[in-house]
Structure formats: C-alpha cells, structure tokens
C-alpha cells in the first residue's frame, strides 16, 4: 500500500520538526552559555581550583639568625649535626630495613619502634623520614662504606641551636624549643602540609621561649621557603614544579660583651646574685647576668625530664632571672638620689651640717633608727654623709621630705617602672607611696616609713637592672636613656627618651666627686676596692637588711642562718672623671656591700675597658 | 538496472563531519587515557568497522526497514530478555549481552527499533492521530521504557521513550493531548520522585542544585568536571596538558566525562568547534528529513536524529552541571564499541532514508 502524502501532512511534519530542532538549538545555546560562564567568566576561580587540586606545597624550614655580642662574636649559633634520613617510598618493609641498618647504626628499641610507627603513618606520601639524629663519626663512616647497598637512606646535615657559653647567657638570651604550633599560617601553605615540612633543625620547627630568643623571635626566625609538588588525585607526588628558598633569619647584634659577662660570672662564682652593666653612651646593656644559672643548650636541644625536674625543684631557683626580676632593697645605694632630692627641694645645701650620734630619733614617738656605726660620724655634711654613708643624715633628710614628692623624684630615675626597652618579662616593681601602702597592706603611711626610705630600706625595692639604670643616669649627669640588649638599629625598644633630670652642673660635679670619694678616698665605705684597678671609679655600696633589727648583737645572732644575712650591693661607674660604663652588682646574703660586691663590679668594669 | 547497482548511497556532508568527529574523538581518548595508545587504537578499529556498517546500511532501500520493522523490534525486545536472563551484573545493573569477546549494550538496539516501528505504524494515519492509535503507540513506548529502565538504566530508558515520543509527536499527535499529558506529568511528579526514583537517583538530582554540599561524595564528579572545564579557559591547557585529566582528578574521562577533557585541554575554542560539528550534523539531518522521499522516511530520520540530539544534550548538560549525573556517553567521542556501532548503524539508516529518492517514472 502506498500512502499518498498530501501537502498538508508534509507541512505539519515540517513545522513540528522545526519546532523540535529549535528546542534542541536552544539547549545547545544553554550548554554553550554555561561553558562560556565556566571558561571565560569564572576562569580565574576554576584555574585556582585546578591548581589547588594538584599543587601540594611543602614548607622548607629557615635557619634561625645567630646572636652576636657587641664585637660581632657569636654567642648563639647553629651547629650542624648529621642525621640518617630515609625515603619511605623506597622501603617496602620497615622491619627488614631496620635489620639491614642495625649493624651500621646503633638504634635503641624506642628508636626502632618510633620509626616503624612513623613509617606506617607517612609512607603514603613519599617524603623523607628521619631514622636517627646526631650520628657519630664512626656511624657516618660505616654508613658511607655501605651506602651503595642502602639506596633508600642518606645522611644529611641538620642543625642544633648551640651556645659556646651555655650557662653564662641563659637568662638574657633565653632558649628555643619546639614551637607550640608546628605550622606557620602566615605562609600560603595549608596547615595539614606542615607535617611534611623539610626541616633543618633536628628538633623540628623551633621558636624562642624566653629572653632575647623570644623577644626577637620575628627577627631571628627568618622566612620559611617552600617546594611545590604536583600530586595526582590519590595524593601521590608526581614531580617538583616550584622552589622558593627559605630566607635565613637576621643575625642579631647585641650590646652584650662576652668577656665582661664571663668576668661577671667568674667573679660571682657560685654565689647567688646578679650583675648588670650599661654602656653610658648608647644605653646598651653589656652585661646582664644572674646566678645560679642553667644550660640553654640542654634546654634548647632536649633535656631529660629528671634533669628538668631537678632544676625546677632547686631552692636556689636557677630559672629565676635575678637581674631583671629580683627585688632587693637598694639600701645605701639610694643615698645619692635622696641627697639630690634634698638639694633640688632646698631642704639642704652642700654645706649644711648635721650631728650624727649614730642614730636618729623620730620626734613623734621617740622611735630610734640606728646607723651602721656605733657612736656615729659626728658632724657630717652631704659629701661626708655619702662618703661614710651616714644613716642619720639621710634619716633626717627623709624625715623632712614629702613621700609623694620623693616617690615622684625616684620614678624619674626609673624606680617603680620597667627601664629596659627589650628585656624579656622584666619586673617593673612598684614605688612605695602612702596610696600604694594603703591599697596593698591596708595600713596608713607612717613618717617612720619615709625615714626608712631615706636609707633605701623599708618598702623600697628595686631590681639590679633598675639600679644599673639609676646609676647610669647619675653617671650621665641626669641624661635619661633607655637601656637595650640589642643594638639600636635592630632594637625593638621604643625610643621615647625618658626625661632628663634637672640638676645644676656644679652640683653634678660635687656629686661625682663625692661618689668617687666613696671608693678612692681614705674615708670611703668602699675604699677596700681602691687598689684593685688602675683607673678611678665612682660608686656607692650598700648592705640590704633582710631583717629589721635594733642592734648589732641581734644581727650576729641571726647571721647563723645564711639566707637571712644581708645582701651586698654596689652601684659604680668609671673610669672617672669621664665615665663610660655603669654597673650594678647584687650578691644575695653577701653582707658588707663594698667589700663583697665591689670586687665583682671592678672586674666587670676592667673587662669592659679591656684592662 | 545496471545504473542502479553502481550507485553508492552516501551523504558526503554527514560522512565527513562524522569522520572529523571520530578523529577528534580518538585524540581526546588518547589524552584521556593518559597517553595509553592501546585504548585509542582499539577504538579506531570500532570506528573503521562503524564506517563500513554505516555505508552498508545506507545501501538498503528504506522499504526494507519498513517491512522488517516488526521483526526488528521483536529481536530488540528478545535481546533485552536475554540480557535479563544471562547478562553479567556490572555495578549492580544488567545492561550487557556478551557475544564471544564482544559485549553489546542491548538497549542500544531498541533505541532504533522503536522509532522505526512507530514510524511504520503511524506514517499512513490521517491527521490528527486518533486516540486509539495514540494509546497503542503510548503503550508500546511505556513498555519499552520499563524494559530498559528496570535494568536499571533510567537514562537510556528515558532516551528510548523519547525516541518513540518524538515519532509520535512528528506524526501529528494532537496538541490537546500533549497539553493534557504535560499537566498529568506535573501533577504526578511528586509521586514519580518518591516511588519511582531510587535513592541514588534522588541524590544525583539533589547534588545538581548544590554540588558543594557533598564535595567528596556525589558532588565530586560535577565539581571536578566544572573545575576541569573552567580551568581550560579560552584556549585550553593544550593537548595532554590538562592537570585535572592527567592527574585523575576528573572521573570517567574516557566515557561520560570526555567532554570535560576537551574543555580542559582545548578550551572554549575547542568546545565551540566540537559543538559546531554536532550542530552541522543535526542541521544536515533536518534537511534530509524535510527533503526525504516519503512520510515514513521523514519520521524515521526525524525520530532518530532527535534521539541522537537528546543523547548529546543530556551528556553535555550533565558534564557542565546543568543536569544530574546520568550515565550517557558523548556520541562518536566516548569510548565504547556498542554505542559507537549503533550510532553508525543509526546514521546508516538516516543516510539510507535521506538519499534514496522516489523512483521517478521516466
């Protein structure tokens, strides 16, 4: 049967076919528009997504900067060690590999167990895996002989942070150790990639924990580099496609002086105490030493738990930084400042004389404040009062003073506040004022309290760093400065110069004269150290009483307990008449200031002056 | 008589555009298989075979297909039955029938048999098609759909159903019926969603609208495909240089997602070129349908071409993220012998219908 197609049927087909093909055409257009949207409009998004898919960046650890002394000698440096490193992807069975390596390298059972555990976690990504750190020369030699048979392992350099003076700079420089976060999100590398970081320190990513290492961590740590690998969908590394070398951290130029710091440590010996020395021209801290100490090398590179516990439990508190955190009564070393306060406020003149019977009686209630010398010094003016360290003179002067005014004056010498621009965790202590006493002890201020301040006792305490800063200001004739461990060009200390202390120049000359007399004259309390050097030194010694006692006999009784003995203190500067360095020394329970702390100060000054 | 035997029926436009597609496809396949030449070589054998099948098929007179239409559809249904009884289960579905070393996706045949059968059934009916014929045609279509869909292969089932519906529509289905059917479809869509779609099929539709909700599960394919295409940009990353393809971030690169490979390595220019070829083929087929010798040929060409087009559009829309993921290869490009052979067979039928002219009385 032949069906005769009529025109109407043909037209019907044509219109319907064209309709359906138009629908197809529109669909084509929709697809094309979508492709255009993907490939042209959102191209950059998808390009990035594709790169993120395939690119796997692995961080490369940067080398930490060294810490140098003021002459450019390294105090802390990076010490290379040699480690045995394996390629897990070339090892099929870690246990049989260990069998193979055992005759070559000594491995403890813990070493082996750790390795197998890490191997199982990381073998998937073909990355390096450290088997043993710090190989001996013999092990390296044995390995090198057999290296042809051990293609899946190699020996490479890894660093440790080392100081050649491990126990001398501990408190000022501090230590480094494994960083809390084993990643650095400031870099454009996902956190999960940090486990694969190419490390150059044997103990992984490290950061400064205390001291300069902590304060200047940013300067020292440098910038990590990265290597970019191409990975496939299963995460296997295909090839390296990019390398950005790490930038080594900046070497830090400090004001510290290795020789002077060593002489401070030597002179202190195994006594507890602190020494701080400041360069009068730059304000640079040349010595900042606290004893007893600990080894930063051990702390930075792994110390046994037992050893650490022993240090923590030590009643001498080796971790305590006495130089910047120890609070000591300044004792007689405060007298020059009290004298200056009297002169400035016209309470006294250089010529006014006071009768010193050996004690001061408080008019209000007859309380006796004793001097250190039985019978006293009789007629004393200000110069003699400083030379012989007359307590009565300064008790009387303090008695005439307004405590608020005096505290304010003392604050201009840096007391009661932080003085160092870049010290780690410095203690600013406090200033004793009536307000302070009431809010802390809930007791009102008595006149007797002010009298005690006159001889640097009572509620007045200061750190050795504050004492050094104070004597620097006096040595510099009132010029304020901000002490800094790191040299000015790298220092983070904010240079808002502390205000200078207004004091007439003739008075300064007389004050320096008096302070020189303390050591160089025949009456000076510290004359015992006069002949230890061949340049002139000015200073003021002090004996800080830990127990308030009325008589010498009573002191002789408590003296049996070493920890209750007086602290010996000296602040000094030299060479006179043009001083270059100021130093403060505190020796705990050292007793007589001039004779005990004095020689330490002289040793440090001699070392700084290369004598 | 003599003259008639020497004439070879073929359409040069279709022939060369399909040839171009296949050559392009072989290159893409080579790149998609990470430069493993064996896959492309094997595919090129199918291409060669396919061209022979297309030319041989083209020589048959359209009347042959008309007369054998019933036999054709019965064989196709039988083949599906054999698959159901003996076919191996691959990925939870029985779609393949094995003949020696050659396996064949049995539903491919029904995709051709159904439109030819319906064209034969409807070409001589008066316009508009009567309800009785419409119902019969619909029953056949629905039965065919369920035969394939229960394998389960929803995608091909829909294509099979479409192939029948196209013929029904082209042969003059009344508009009122179409309107009614659409209304019914919309009303019953919640029922279809809940009772007919399996959970994994629902999941695919859900991820289409929010692929980021499950980037490593069902959304992975769509996400990676969009990244591949998008990162190709205007000019592409270059042959064999697509990181998504070569590093295996892109799934199914040799089959369903080969368009993403083209998008990534040849960019928007490559996509434009490929789609132009497809578009040219479709336009040529439309021309052949309009100028075919009779109504039966028109219906068959129209039905098969539109089925081919739907197949193509579904694959493209899926790969670019406009439709949910359904297993649907890119015609003439994706790896796979049986789909390629049946495509060539289909275009052989189109060529036959389009080039055999009515015997004119001399």
A526: pLDDT strictly greater than 60: yes
DSSP A50-96: HHHHHEEEEEEPPPPPPEE-TTS-EEEEEEEEEEEEE-GGG-S-HHH
Determine the Cα angle at A479 with ends A603 and A432, to 5°: 85
Binned at pLDDT 50, 70 and 90, residue A193 comes out as confident
Query: Does one domain contain both A459 and A568?
Result: yes
Q: Is residue A274 part of a domain?
A: yes
Q: What is the pLDDT of residue A334?
A: 96
Cα torsion A508, A513, A519, A522: sign: negative
Query: Does one domain contain both A279 and A244?
Result: no
Decide which of A208, A233, A253 is a domain's last residue.
A253
Contacts of B296 in chain A (CB under 8 A): 3
Contacts of A38 in chain B (CB under 8 A): 226, 229-230, 263, 320
Judge residue A207's burial from the number of C-beta atoms within 10 Å of its C-beta, 0-12 exposed, 13-18 middle, 19 or more buried: middle
Mean pLDDT over residues B226-247, rounded?
92
Size of interface A-B (CB pairs under 8 A): 141
| Cα B302 to Cα B346: distance, rounded to the nearest angstrom | 12
A598: pLDDT strictly greater than 60: yes
A280: pLDDT strictly greater than 80: yes
* Cβ within 8 Å, pair B229-A46: yes
Chain B CB within 8 Å of residue A5 CB: yes
For A40, the closest chain B residue by CA position comes to B233
Residue of A38, A230, A234 to mutate when probing chain B, most B C-beta within 10 A: A38
Q: What is the pLDDT of residue B86?
A: 75
Question: Whose CA is closest to B175, among A92, A12, A436?
Answer: A12
Query: Does one domain contain both A296 and A239?
Result: no
* CA distance from start to end of chain B: 13
* pLDDT tens for each residue of A549-593: 655 666 666 676 777 788 999 999 989 999 999 999 999 988 777
Contacts of A234 in chain B (CB under 8 A): 248
Q: What is the dihedral of CA B170, B171, B175, B176, to 10 degrees?
A: -140
Contacts of A3 in chain B (CB under 8 A): 123-124, 294-296
Bridge partner list, A462: A328
Query: Does one domain contain both A115 and A99?
Result: yes
Q: What is the pLDDT of residue A553?
A: 66
CATH classification of the domain holding A118? 3.90.1310.10
Query: Does one domain contain both A157 and A286?
Result: no
A136: pLDDT strictly greater than 90: no
Count of domains forming chain A? 2
Q: Is residue A49 part of a domain?
A: no
| Cα A168 to Cα A183: distance, rounded to the nearest angstrom | 32
Judge residue A130's burial from the number of C-beta atoms within 10 Å of its C-beta, 0-12 exposed, 13-18 middle, 19 or more buried: middle
Query: Does one domain contain both A180 and A265?
Result: no
Average pLDDT, chain A: 89
Q: Is residue A51 part of a domain?
A: no
| Cα A600 to Cα A585: distance, rounded to the nearest angstrom | 7
* Cβ within 8 Å, pair A39-B263: yes
Bridge partner list, A278: A285, A582
Mean pLDDT over residues B229-236, rounded?
94
The residues in B 71-90 lying below 8 A from A, measured between CB atoms, are: none
Q: What is the pLDDT of residue A585?
A: 97
Query: Does one domain contain both A334 and A197?
Result: no
Decide which of A253, A279, A297 is a domain's last residue.
A253
Binned at pLDDT 50, 70 and 90, residue B248 comes out as confident
Mean pLDDT over residues A312-334, rounded?
93
Query: Does one domain contain both A183 and A300?
Result: no
Mean pLDDT over residues B149-157, rounded?
79
Top pLDDT among A101 and B205 is at: A101
Token pair belonging to A383: 């110069």
Chain A CB within 8 Å of residue B168 CB: no
Token pair belonging to A62: 């940067």
Chain A CB within 8 Å of residue B287 CB: no
Decide which of A232, A253, A274 is a domain's last residue.
A253
Of A127-131, A198-202, B175-179, the poorest mean pLDDT is in A127-131
Average pLDDT, chain B: 87
Give CA B202 to chain center in angstroms: 23
Q: What is the pLDDT of residue B5?
A: 55
- Domain range enclosing A386: 258-306+322-608
Binned at pLDDT 50, 70 and 90, residue A162 comes out as very high
Q: Is residue A37 part of a domain?
A: no
Show Cβ contacts of residue B23 under 8 Å, excluding neighbours closer than 6 positions.
none
DSSP H/E element including A238: strand A237-244
A483: closest CA of chain B, how far (Å): 58
Query: Does one domain contain both A479 and A568?
Result: yes
Contacts of A4 in chain B (CB under 8 A): none
Query: Does one domain contain both A154 and A268?
Result: no
Query: Does one domain contain both A235 and A299?
Result: no
Q: What is the pLDDT of residue B347?
A: 97
A494: pLDDT strictly greater than 80: no
* pLDDT tens for each residue of A390-414: 999 999 999 999 999 999 999 999 9
* pLDDT tens for each residue of B11-35: 999 999 999 999 999 999 999 988 8
Show Cβ contacts of residue B355 under 8 Å, excluding neighbours closer than 6 positions.
B9, B10, B11, B58, B288
Gyration radius of chain A over CA positions = 36
For A5, the closest chain B residue by CA position comes to B295
Show Cβ contacts of residue A413 under 8 Å, excluding neighbours closer than 6 positions.
A337, A469, A470, A473, A474, A501
Token pair belonging to B94: 């029985």
The residues in A 31-60 lying below 8 A from B, measured between CB atoms, are: 31-32, 34-36, 38-40, 42-43, 45-47, 49-51, 53-54
B240: closest CA of chain A, how far (Å): 15
Q: Is residue A16 part of a domain?
A: no
CATH classification of the domain holding A534? 3.40.710.10
Residue for token digits 């003439």?
B332
* Cβ within 8 Å, pair B243-A53: yes
Q: Is residue A177 part of a domain?
A: yes
Q: What is the pLDDT of residue A552?
A: 63
**B348-to-A43, A258, A297, B11, B129 alpha-carbon distances in Å:** 40, 95, 85, 10, 29
* Cβ within 8 Å, pair B231-A49: yes
What ipTM describes this predicted complex? Answer: 0.91
Chain A CB within 8 Å of residue B272 CB: yes
Question: Whose CA is closest to A239, among A61, A55, A52, A47?
Answer: A55
Q: Is residue A4 part of a domain?
A: no
Q: Is residue A555 part of a domain?
A: yes
Contacts of B309 in chain A (CB under 8 A): 21, 24
Binned at pLDDT 50, 70 and 90, residue B1 comes out as very low
Token pair belonging to A80: 């290379």
Q: What is the pLDDT of residue B357?
A: 83
B318: closest CA of chain A, how far (Å): 10
Mean pLDDT over residues B175-195, rounded?
84
Mean pLDDT over residues B163-174, rounded?
91
Query: Does one domain contain both A240 and A333?
Result: no
For B224, the closest chain A residue by CA position comes to A50
Of A333-342, A381-390, B82-91, B237-246, the poorest mean pLDDT is in B82-91
Residue of B247, B279, B286, B314 to mutate when probing chain A, most A C-beta within 10 A: B247
A1: pLDDT strictly greater than 50: no
Binned at pLDDT 50, 70 and 90, residue B332 comes out as very high
B360: pLDDT strictly greater than 60: no
B362: pLDDT strictly greater than 50: no
Q: What is the pLDDT of residue B361?
A: 47
Binned at pLDDT 50, 70 and 90, residue A38 comes out as very high
Q: What is the pLDDT of residue A506?
A: 93
Minimal Cβ distance to A49: which of B171, B227, B298: B227
For A13, the closest chain B residue by CA position comes to B170
Query: Is 0.90 surpassed by the pTM of this model?
Result: no
| Cα A367 to Cα A359: distance, rounded to the nearest angstrom | 10
Question: Whose CA is closest to B141, among B159, B123, B120?
Answer: B159
Top pLDDT among A361 and A114 is at: A361
Minimal Cβ distance to B247: which of A10, A24, A233: A233
């Amino acid at each position: 049967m032949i069906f005769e197609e009529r025109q109407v049927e043909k037209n019907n087909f044509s219109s319907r076919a064209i309709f359906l093909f138009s629908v197809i055409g529109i669909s084509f257009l929709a697809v094309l528009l979508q492709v255009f949207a993907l490939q042209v409009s959102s191209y950059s998004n998808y390009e990035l997504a594709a790169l993120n898919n395939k690119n796997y960046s692995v961080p490369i650890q940067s080398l930490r900067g060294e810490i140098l002394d003021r002459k450019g000698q390294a105090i802390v440096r990076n010490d290379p060690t040699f480690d045995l490193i394996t390629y897990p992807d070339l090892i099929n069975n870690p246990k049989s590999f260990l069998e193979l390596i055992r005759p070559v390298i000594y491995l403890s059972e813990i070493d082996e167990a750790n390795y197998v555990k890490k191997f199982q976690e990381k073998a998937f990504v073909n990355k390096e895996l450290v088997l043993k750190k710090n190989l001996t020369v013999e092990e390296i030699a044995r390995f090198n002989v057999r290296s042809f048979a051990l293609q899946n392992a190699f020996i490479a350099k890894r660093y440790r942070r080392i100081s050649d003076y491990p126990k001398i700079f501990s408190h000022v420089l501090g230590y480094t150790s494994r960083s809390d976060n084993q990643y650095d999100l400031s870099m454009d590398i996902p956190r999960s990639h940090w486990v694969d970081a190419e490390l150059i320190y044997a103990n992984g990513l490290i950061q400064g924990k205390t001291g300069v290492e902590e304060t200047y961590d940013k300067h020292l740590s440098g910038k990590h580099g990265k290597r970019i690998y191409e990975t496939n969908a299963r995460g296997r590394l295909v090839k390296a496609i990019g390398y950005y070398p790490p930038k080594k951290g900046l070497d830090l130029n400090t004001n510290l002086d290795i020789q002077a710091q060593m002489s401070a440590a030597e002179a202190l010996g195994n006594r507890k105490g602190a020494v701080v020395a400041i360069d009068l021209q730059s304000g640079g801290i040349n010595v900042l030493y606290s004893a007893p100490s600990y080894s930063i090398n051990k702390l930075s590179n792994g110390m046994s738990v037992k050893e650490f516990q022993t240090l923590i439990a030590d009643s001498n508190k080796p971790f305590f930084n006495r130089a910047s955190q120890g609070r000591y009564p300044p004792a007689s070393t405060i007298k020059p400042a009290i004298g200056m306060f009297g002169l400035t406020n016209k309470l006294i003149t250089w010529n006014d004389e006071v009768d010193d019977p050996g004690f001061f009686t408080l008019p209000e209630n007859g309380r006796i404040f004793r001097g250190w010398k039985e019978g006293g010094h009789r007629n004393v003016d200000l110069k003699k009062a400083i030379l012989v360290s007359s307590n009565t003179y300064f008790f009387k002067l303090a008695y005439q003073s307004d405590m608020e005014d005096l505290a304010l004056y003392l604050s201009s010498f840096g007391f009661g506040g932080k003085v160092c621009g870049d010290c780690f965790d410095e203690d600013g202590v406090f200033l004793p004022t009536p307000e302070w006493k009431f809010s802390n002890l809930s007791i009102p201020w008595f006149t007797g309290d002010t009298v005690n301040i006159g001889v640097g006792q009572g509620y007045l305490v200061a750190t050795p760093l504050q004492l050094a800063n104070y004597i620097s200001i006096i040595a510099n004739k009132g010029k304020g400065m901000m002490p800094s461990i790191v040299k000015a060009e790298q220092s983070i200390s904010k240079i808002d110069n502390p205000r200078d202390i207004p004091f007439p120049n003739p008075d300064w000359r007389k004050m320096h004269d008096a302070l020189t007399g303390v050591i160089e004259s025949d009456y000076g309390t510290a004359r015992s150290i006069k002949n230890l050097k061949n340049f002139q030194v000015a200073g003021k010694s002090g004996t800080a009483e830990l127990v308030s006692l009325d008589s010498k006999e009573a002191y002789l009784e408590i003296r049996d307990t070493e920890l209750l003995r007086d602290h010996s203190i000296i602040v000094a500067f030299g060479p006179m008449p043009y001083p270059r360095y100021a130093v403060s020394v505190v020796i705990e329970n050292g007793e007589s200031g001039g004779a005990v702390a004095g020689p330490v100060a002289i040793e440090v000054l001699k070392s700084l002056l290369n004598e | 008589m003599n003259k008639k035997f020497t004439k070879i029926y073929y359409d040069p436009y279709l022939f060369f555009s399909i040839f171009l597609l296949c050559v392009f496809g072989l290159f893409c396949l080579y790149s998609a298989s990470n430069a493993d030449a064996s896959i492309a070589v094997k595919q090129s054998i199918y291409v060669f075979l396919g061209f022979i099948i297309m030319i041989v098929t083209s020589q048959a007179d359209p009347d042959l297909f008309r007369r054998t239409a019933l036999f054709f559809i019965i064989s196709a249904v039988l083949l599906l039955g054999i698959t159901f009884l003996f076919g191996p289960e691959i990925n939870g579905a029985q779609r393949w029938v094995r003949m020696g070393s050659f396996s064949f996706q049995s539903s491919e045949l029904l995709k051709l048999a159904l439109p030819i059968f319906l064209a034969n059934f409807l070409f001589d009916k008066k316009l508009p098609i009567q309800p009785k014929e419409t119902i019969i045609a619909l029953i056949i279509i629905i039965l065919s759909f369920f035969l394939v869909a229960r394998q389960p292969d929803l995608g091909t089932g829909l294509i099979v159903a479409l192939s029948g519906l196209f013929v029904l529509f082209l042969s003059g289905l009344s508009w009122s019926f179409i309107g009614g059917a659409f209304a019914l479809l919309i009303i019953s869509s919640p029922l279809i969603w809940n009772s007919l779609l399996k959970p994994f099929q629902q999941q695919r539709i859900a991820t289409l609208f929010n692929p980021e909700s499950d980037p490593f599960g069902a959304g992975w394919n769509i996400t990676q495909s969009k990244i591949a295409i998008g990162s190709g940009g205007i000019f592409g990353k270059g042959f064999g240089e697509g990181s998504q393809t070569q590093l295996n971030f892109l799934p199914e690169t040799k089959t369903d997602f080969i368009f993403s490979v083209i998008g990534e390595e040849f960019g928007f220019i490559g996509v434009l070129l490929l789609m132009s070829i497809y578009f040219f083929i479709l336009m040529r087929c439309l021309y052949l349908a309009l100028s075919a010798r009779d109504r039966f040929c028109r219906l068959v060409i129209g039905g098969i071409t539109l089925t081919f087009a739907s197949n193509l559009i579904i694959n493209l829309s899926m790969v670019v993220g406009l439709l949910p993921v359904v297993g649907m290869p890119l015609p003439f490009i994706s790896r796979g012998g049986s789909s390629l052979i049946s495509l060539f067979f289909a275009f052989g039928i189109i060529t036959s219908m389009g080039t055999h002219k009515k015997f004119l009385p001399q």
